[in-house]
Amino acid sequence: MTVQLQQLRYFLAVVETRHFTQAADILGVSQPTLSKQIHTLEASLGAPLFERMRGAVTLTVAGETLLPMAQRIVADADAAREAVQDIVGLRRGEVRLGATPSLCSSLVPAVLRTFRADHPGVTLHVSEGSSQDLNAGLLAHTLDLALIVAPEQGIDPALDATEVLRESLVVASVADGPPPTVGRQLELAELRHTPMVMFREGYDIREVTLHACERAGFTPKFAVEGGEMDAVLAFVEAGLGVALVPSMVLANRPLLRATPLAPPGMRRTIALAQRRAAVLPHAAAALRDVVLEHIASGRLPYGVRAL
Domains of the chain by start residue, with CATH: 5-88 (1.10.10.10), 93-164+269-306 (3.40.190.10), 166-267 (3.40.190.290)
Give residue-wise pLDDT tens across range 247-275: 888 888 899 999 999 998 898 899 999 99
**When comparing pLDDT for 150 and 152, which is higher?**
150
Closest CA to 53 of 18, 80, 95: 18
Q: What is the CA radius of gyration of the chain?
A: 32
Q: Length of the chain, please?
A: 307
Burial class (CB in 10 A: 0-12, 13-18, 19+), 110: middle
Give residue-wise pLDDT tens across range 11-31: 999 998 998 889 999 889 999
What pLDDT, on a 0 to 100 scale, did the predictor assign at position 207?
86
pLDDT reading at 61 higher than 80: yes
Give residue-wise pLDDT tens across range 178-228: 999 988 899 999 999 999 999 988 888 898 899 999 999 999 999 999 888
Give residue-wise pLDDT tens across range 104-127: 888 899 999 999 998 898 889 999
CA–CA distance, 38 with 102 (Å, rounded to integer) = 64
3-state secondary structure the chain: CCCCHHHHHHHHHHHHHCCHHHHHHHHCCCHHHHHHHHHHHHHHHCCCCEEEECCEEEECHHHHHHHHHHHHHHHHHHHHHHHHHHHHCCCCEEEEEEECHHHHCCHHHHHHHHHHHHCCCEEEEEEECCHHHHHHHHHCCCCCEEEEECCCCCCCCCEEEEEEEEEEEEEEEECCCCCCCCCCCECHHHHCCCEEEEECCCCHHHHHHHHHHHHCCCCCEEEEEEECHHHHHHHHHCCCCEEEEEHHHHCCCCCEEEEEECCCCCEEEEEEEEECCCCCCHHHHHHHHHHHHHHHHCCCCCCEEEC
Give residue-wise pLDDT tens across range 40-56: 999 999 999 999 877 67
pLDDT reading at 1 higher than 70: no
